[in-house]
């Protein structure tokens, strides 16, 4: 029997031939249509994608006018902007120039067994890229041997849309022998990562990824004396830290503070904890305002998410063990010393109440748009075959909502998880701030994320400013869920894409 993803791949998008049978019921064409454009997704019922009347009333907003968006295939817009024109200043010379070469290859996993996967410049993870805030970064991506084609997506960096690296939306997958140049300004300092966004569920799990760190423009903030990257990835069941099945030591003088940049490139949540207190300096590349000591609690990092954690080195002859991701640790302090493992605390640090509040640069209370993103699952038919499929606002992929915005809109989104599974939700091109969880308002530092875990039954209200025109994926970063349809898009008015999914270029973003 074909897998779910094969079914989805083969299913007719059939927006034009799909018939809504009423609330939640949908009949699918059994035609194997193949090629489709994201521009057609959600057509004919895009009003359903809005929060609905309750949502508007609840938020006291007025601008979420479904009629402004309904049926927006792009054709109605006068000032059509092609995604490929949404670039960094083409005249500006690059400050950082890198070439990254992807190969479909045997991945050496030091300390473990090699797996068949993908490398970048010969290793996985690929090289850690470094830029300074404000730099213009230019990456030439070369696909040497990835047979399905590949791209690079800059997870968490608010790049211009043309550089977002989503096959079938912002570019064609780069075929074997091809190359693609990504250019973006590194506007926000922080910890990020890059990965392929073509057949992501295979290529990311197989290691087509690496870290990218954007250092602050002025190194004034003396938050740390040293830093270390802790990129977590599971290669064929082997839990690695920076690509190795082993723990790492950071040689730090007594009292020195080490900033550990934890990057969760896996398919599920990663826990971080220590017997010694630590501080969470940043989440998803955004600083926490006035972080305090975390003691006896674990920090959870969603799939795709990052956290910068500060640990202080202990007195002479001693080391502190920071557990990262359950299976690996970083030992900080005297390189000769060790520290025993500590059991994972049951209590989780609540980032909703961590740090100190500080005003936002925009007012979510006067949102122009408010959307619902309700995740559930139900039995249904896709391509004539039954399955327990993800739904968004009651609809199955590809008939999921298209969230239409205008540049400058303040957007509030209510994400609800009625699906019985954890979903790390990731919006491209924007950072979102958490307003509330299950009705409890945020009471700590503004909690900025690009990857947010929703546990079963949870609902979050988030807000962001639509300040980066384009067509942006908004999906679950448990990539097997994304390939099974947990993907919607944010679409700016007047923006269109010439790329298609499937078709001659073989674009399969998920």
Number of Cβ within a 10 Å radius of residue 154:
24
Distances (CA, A) of 249 to 273, 302, 317, 334: 16, 24, 13, 8
Q: Does 153 bind ligand C2O (CB under 6 A)?
A: yes
Closer residue to ligand C2O (CB): 9 or 385: 9
Cα–Cα distances in angstroms (integers) from residue 23 to residues 48, 279, 395, in the given order: 10, 48, 9
- From the list ligand C2O, Cu ion, none, partner contacted by residue 261 (C-beta under 5 to 8 A by kind): none
* Residue 152 to residues 4, 173, 187, 321, Cα–Cα distance (Å): 25, 9, 18, 33
Name which of ligand C2O, Cu ion, none residue 423 binds, using a CB cut-off of 5 to 8 Å depending on partner kind. Answer: Cu ion
Total residues interacting with ligand C2O, rule: CB under 6 A: 10
Q: Does the footprint of ligand C2O cover residue 481 (CB under 6 A)?
A: no
Identify what 279 binds: ligand C2O, Cu ion, none; CB under 5 to 8 Å per kind.
none
Residues between 413 and 442 that touch Cu ion (CB under 5 A): 423
């064609």: which residue's tokens? 172
Q: Which of 477, 481, 489, 508 binds ligand C2O (CB under 6 A)?
A: 477
Among residue numbers 196 through 255, which ones bind ligand C2O (CB under 6 A)?
A: 197
Asked if residue 481 binds Cu ion (CB under 5 A), the reply is: yes
Radius of gyration (Cα) for the chain, nearest Å? 22
Give me 398's structure tokens.
């590809």
Q: How far is the CB of 304 from Cu ion (least distance, A)?
A: 11
Check binding of 370 to ligand C2O (CB under 6 A).
no
What, of ligand C2O, Cu ion, none, does residue 119 touch, CB below 5 to 8 Å by kind?
none
In contact, 478 and 268? CB cutoff 8 Å: yes
304 contact choice in Cu ion, ligand C2O, none (CB below 5 to 8 Å, kind-dependent): ligand C2O
Q: Which is nearer to ligand C2O, 64 or 400 (CB)?
A: 400
Q: Which residues pair with 454 in a beta bridge?
A: 423
List the one residue out of 301, 397, 433, 444 whose CA is nearest residue 28. 397
Please choose which of Cu ion, ligand C2O, none residue 476 contacts, taking the beta carbon within 5 to 8 angstroms, the exact cut-off set by kind: Cu ion
**What is the footprint of ligand C2O within residues 457-476 (CB under 6 A)?**
473, 475
Secondary element (H or E) of residue 424:
strand 423-427
CB closer to Cu ion, 272 vs 375: 375
Query: Residue 203 or 478: which CB sits closer to Cu ion?
Result: 478
Find, among 279, 320, 328, 319, the residue nearest to 299 by Cα.
279
Side-by-side strand order, sheet with 129-132: 129-132, 209-215, 190-195, 153-155
Please state, as a whole number, how many other Cβ atoms lie within 10 Å of the Cβ of residue 380. 17
**Least distance between Cu ion and beta carbon 417 (Å):** 9
Omega cis (within 30) before 125: yes
Residue 201 touches which of ligand C2O, Cu ion, none (CB < 5 to 8 A by kind)?
none
Name which of Cu ion, ligand C2O, none residue 489 binds, using a CB cut-off of 5 to 8 Å depending on partner kind: none
Residue with the CB atom nearest ligand C2O in the bound state = 155
Minimum CB distance to ligand C2O smaller for 304 or for 314: 304
The 10 Å CB-count burial string (b at 16+, else e) for 478-493 is bbbbbbbbbbbbbbbb
Q: What mask, x for binding ligand C2O by CB under 6 A, covers residues 253 to 292?
A: ----------------------------------------
Query: From the list 155, 201, 323, 437, which residue makes contact with ligand C2O (rule: CB under 6 A)?
Result: 155
**Which CB atom, from 303 or from 331, has the smaller least distance to ligand C2O?**
303
If the CB atoms of residues 225 and 421 are measured against Cu ion, the closer one turns out to be 421
Q: Which is nearer to Cu ion, 354 or 460 (CB)?
A: 460
Closest approach of Cu ion to the CB of residue 397, in Å: 12
Contact 314, 333 (CB under 8 A): yes
Q: What is the 3-state secondary structure (H, E, C) of 455-489?
A: CCCCEEEEEEECCCCCEEEEEECCHHHHHCCCEEE
Region class of 436: left (phi > 0), else alpha (psi between -120 and 50), else beta: beta
Task: Identify the H or E element spanning 67.
Answer: helix 66-69
Distance CA 128, CA 120 (A): 10
Nearer to ligand C2O, 185 or 450 (CB): 450
Output 183 or 423, the one with its CB closest to Cu ion. Answer: 423
* Residues 6+ away with beta carbon under 8 Å from 25: none
Choosing from 428, 430, 431, 481, the residue that interacts with ligand C2O (CB under 6 A) is 428
| Selected range binding Cu ion among 10-18, 225-233, 428-436, 470-478, rule: CB under 5 A | 470-478
Residue 477 binds: one of ligand C2O, Cu ion, none (C-beta under 5 to 8 A by kind): ligand C2O
Q: Is the peptide bond before 118 cis (omega within 30 degrees of 0)?
A: no
Nearer to Cu ion, 195 or 423 (CB): 423
Site string for Cu ion, 280-309 (x = CB under 5 A): ------------------------------
- What are the residues binding Cu ion (CB under 5 A)? 423, 476, 478, 481
- What are the residues binding ligand C2O (CB under 6 A)? 153, 155, 195, 197, 304, 426, 428, 473, 475, 477
């Amino acid at each position: 029997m074909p897998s779910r993803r094969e079914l989805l791949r083969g299913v007719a998008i059939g927006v034009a031939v799909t018939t809504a049978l009423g609330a939640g019921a949908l009949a699918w064409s059994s035609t194997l249509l193949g090629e489709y454009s994201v521009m057609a997704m959600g057509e004919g019922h895009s009003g359903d994608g809005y929060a609905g009347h309750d949502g508007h009333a609840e938020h006291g907003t007025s601008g979420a006018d479904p009629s402004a968006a309904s049926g927006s295939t792009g054709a109605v817009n006068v000032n059509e902007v092609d995604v490929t024109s949404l670039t960094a200043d083409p005249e500006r010379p690059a400050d950082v120039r890198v070439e990254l070469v992807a190969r479909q290859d045997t991945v050496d996993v030091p300390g473990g067994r090699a797996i068949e996967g993908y490398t970048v410049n010969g290793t996985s993870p690929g090289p850690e890229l470094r830029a300074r805030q404000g730099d213009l970064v230019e990456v030439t991506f070369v696909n040497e041997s990835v047979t399905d084609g590949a791209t690079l997506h800059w997870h968490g960096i608010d790049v211009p849309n043309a550089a977002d690296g989503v096959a079938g939306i912002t570019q064609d997958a780069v075929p074997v022998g091809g190359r693609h140049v990504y250019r973006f300004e590194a506007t926000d300092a922080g910890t990020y990562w890059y990965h392929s966004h073509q057949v992501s569920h295979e290529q990311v799990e197989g290691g087509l990824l690496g870290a990218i760190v954007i250092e602050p423009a002025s190194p004034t903030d003396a938050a740390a004396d040293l830093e270390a990257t802790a990129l977590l990835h599971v290669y064929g069941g082997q839990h690695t830290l920076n690509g190795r099945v082993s723990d790492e030591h950071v040689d730090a003088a007594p009292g020195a503070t080490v900033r550990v940049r934890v990057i969760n490139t896996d398919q599920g949540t990663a826990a971080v904890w220590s017997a010694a207190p630590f501080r969470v300096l940043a989440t998803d590349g955004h600083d926490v305002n006035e972080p305090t000591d975390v003691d006896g609690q674990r920090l959870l990092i969603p799939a795709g998410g990052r956290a910068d954690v500060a640990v202080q080195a202990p007195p002479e002859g001693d080391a502190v063990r920071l557990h990262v991701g359950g299976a690996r640790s970083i030992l900080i302090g005297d390189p000769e010393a060790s520290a025993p493992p500590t059991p994972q605390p049951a209590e989780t640090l609540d980032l909703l109440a961590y740090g100190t509040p500080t005003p936002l640069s925009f007012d979510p209370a006067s949102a122009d748009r408010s959307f619902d993103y309700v995740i559930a699952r139900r039995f249904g038919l896709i391509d004539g075959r039954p399955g327990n499929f993800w739904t968004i606002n009651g609809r199955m992929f590809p008939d999921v909502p298209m969230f239409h915005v205008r540049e400058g809109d303040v957007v509030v989104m209510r994400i609800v998880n009625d699906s019985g599974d954890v979903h790390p939700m990731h919006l491209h091109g924007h950072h979102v701030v958490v307003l509330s969880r299950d009705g409890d308002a945020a009471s700590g530092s503004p909690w900025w994320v690009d990857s947010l875990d929703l546990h079963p039954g949870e609902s979050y209200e988030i807000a962001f400013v639509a300040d980066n025109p384009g067509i942006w994926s908004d999906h679950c970063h448990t990539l097997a869920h994304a390939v099974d349809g947990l993907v919607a898009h944010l679409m700016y008015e007047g923006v269109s894409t010439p790329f298609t999914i499937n078709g001659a270029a073989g674009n399969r973003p998920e």
